[in-house]
Amino acid sequence: MTAVAPNPPKPITSGKDPRFAPTLYAHVGQPESWTLSYYRRNGGYEAVKRAFSMGADAVIDEVKKSGLRGRGGAGFATGLKWSFMPLNDGKPHYIICNADESEPGSFKDRYLLSEDPHQLIEGMVIAAYAMRASVGYIYIRGEYVHAAERINAAIEEARAAGLLGKNVLNSGFDFQLHLHRGAGAYICGEETALMNSLEGLRANPRLKPPFPAAAGLYGLPTTINNVETFCAATQILKFGAEWHAGMGTEKSKGMKLFQVSGPVARPGVYELPLGVTFRELIYDWAGGPLEEIKAIIPGGSSCPMLRWDDKTLDTPMDYESIAGAGSMLGTGGVTVIPKADCIVNATWNMVRFYGHESCGKCTPCREGISSWMTRMYEKLVRGHGQPGDVQLILDMSENIGGRSFCALADACLGPVLSSIELFREEYDSLAQFQTPTYPARNRWKDV
């Protein structure tokens, strides 16, 4: 069944390349796509059989060869991460699926979870087998109720069919999988905070090291991956590492679920090879903007915004190129910001978000973001700005950046610093004259 495409002479970096076809997202939205019978009719649970026939170490090698990098935002090499799990240490190992998708602008995992749960389960069985894990948890954000029901039903079906539990598919490998529902906290996307939440605690992040592969859930070796990463592992075991490595750029391999939101003709999730340009994604796939745009958030709200110009639009969407442009690929959640909306107001919304979601553990984030930064922005947008306010925000940012316990405070500085750099005149207008360059307008309309 391993239909490995011949090694392409030139890597696939466009969704319009005839060699490219969606796989991760191929069954989303099809009737009954969430059932075991549908999944099996479409080649489901063949990848796991191939994994069992290869052996655990070969599976890790295959994932390494594929070039897959974590799709949750950080982009760490997945095969390498898997190889950090200790071997033969006699302890139980855990794997966790991070399905706490809460980065503003990201909405890919929701469709994978509710429309193709077996693809995720298969990926987790493969990963567990490779990392000698006997128990897995899917930590899903509490608000994804519909998806949680689908996942639970799929786990039941898989268990009844011998795909989970003792002696999976007569391989001698045991793997139990459970769903754990969160309850609404952005910080649970941070892997150590997620583990605390799973242990029934407040979701404060833990100090690293020790890293989860050494001491994670219940102090035992644990690996956490994003939903899309596990699903990509299923596809890699199905079609081979070379097929996966034939897509994308030199260091960013494979396909990615990109999401487009904001005023474009066709907002939604598009599966495209890494290295596709912003221009192709936004114009050819999402149908182009519906009004004049001034900025792009390239990968979820914590990624610094980029100016809407030809240079940005021609930037390939891979980890390195976007980093070179001064931002991050993040979760691939692209948002376009209209010219006619006040950038300070939009940034205030994000600052307020991070302020609300700060766990309160460390001072730079609790006081710096939740209190000072939020109040400075509120002061500006409410028309009480004073000369020097923008400089004060910059000074505060300098004292917050790199000084917080986890990445949440730095995430908040992404939109703050980039918006000041790109649109300083809008800030100055509010600070000097207390008037926004772009006044509030009614955006709630019937289409």
Partner 1 sequence: MSYFADKQTLVADIFSRYPDSPQGRRSALMPLIREVQDAEGFVNGTRLDEIAALCGTTATEVRSVMSFYSTYHTLPTGKYHLQVCSTVMCSLAGSDELWDHLVNMLDVQPGEVSPDGRFSVQKVECLGSCGTAPMMQINDDGYYESVTPSKCARILESLRADLQPLPDNPVPVTVNAEGRQMLANGEVVGASITGLSQLPPIFPGGEA
Output 261 or 432, the one with its CB closest to partner 1: 261
Output 5 or 169, the one with its CB closest to partner 1: 5
What is the closest distance, in whole angstroms, from the C-beta atom of residue 226 to partner 1 in the complex? Answer: 13
What is the closest distance, in whole angstroms, from the C-beta atom of residue 350 to partner 1 in the complex? Answer: 5
Helices (H), 116-206: 117-130, 145-160, 191-198
Q: Are the beta carbons of 130 and 91 closer than 8 angstroms?
A: no
What is the closest distance, in whole angstroms, from the C-beta atom of residue 146 to partner 1 in the complex? Answer: 5
**Residue 42 CB: number of other CB atoms within 10 A?**
15
Output 81 or 332, the one with its CB closest to partner 1: 332
Output 178 or 391, the one with its CB closest to partner 1: 178
CA-based nearest residue to 45, from 124, 111, 139: 124
Q: Supply 319's token pair.
A: 């980890």
**Residue 181 CB: number of other CB atoms within 10 A?**
16
C-alpha pair distances (Å), 150 with each of 17, 33, 179, 315 = 34, 11, 11, 37
**Residue 22 CB: number of other CB atoms within 10 A?**
14
What is the closest distance, in whole angstroms, from the C-beta atom of residue 220 to partner 1 in the complex? Answer: 9
What b/e readout covers 249-274, taking b as 16+ CB neighbours within 10 angstroms?
beebbbbbbbbbbbbbeebebbbbbb
Output 90 or 200, the one with its CB closest to partner 1: 200
What is the closest distance, in whole angstroms, from the C-beta atom of residue 266 to partner 1 in the complex? Answer: 6
Output 59 or 177, the one with its CB closest to partner 1: 177
Output 81 or 289, the one with its CB closest to partner 1: 289
d(CA 248, CA 156) in angstroms, rounded, equals: 36
What is the closest distance, in whole angstroms, from the C-beta atom of residue 80 to partner 1 in the complex? Answer: 25
Helices (H) and strands (E) in the chain, counts: 19, 9
State the residue for tokens 């139980």.
Answer: 92
> DSSP assignment, residue 367?
I
CA–centroid distance for 221 within its chain: 23
Output 3 or 207, the one with its CB closest to partner 1: 3
Q: Supply 14's token pair.
A: 């466009």
Backbone phi and psi for residue 314, each to the nearest 5 degrees, phi listed first: -90, 5
What is the closest distance, in whole angstroms, from the C-beta atom of residue 36 to partner 1 in the complex? Answer: 17
Three-state secondary structure readout of 76-96: CEHHHHHHCCCCCCCCCCEEE
Output 99 or 431, the one with its CB closest to partner 1: 99
d(CA 18, CA 297) in angstroms, rounded, equals: 29
What is the closest distance, in whole angstroms, from the C-beta atom of residue 142 to partner 1 in the complex? Answer: 5
Q: Are the beta carbons of 307 and 298 closer than 8 angstroms?
A: no
What is the closest distance, in whole angstroms, from the C-beta atom of residue 193 to partner 1 in the complex? Answer: 10
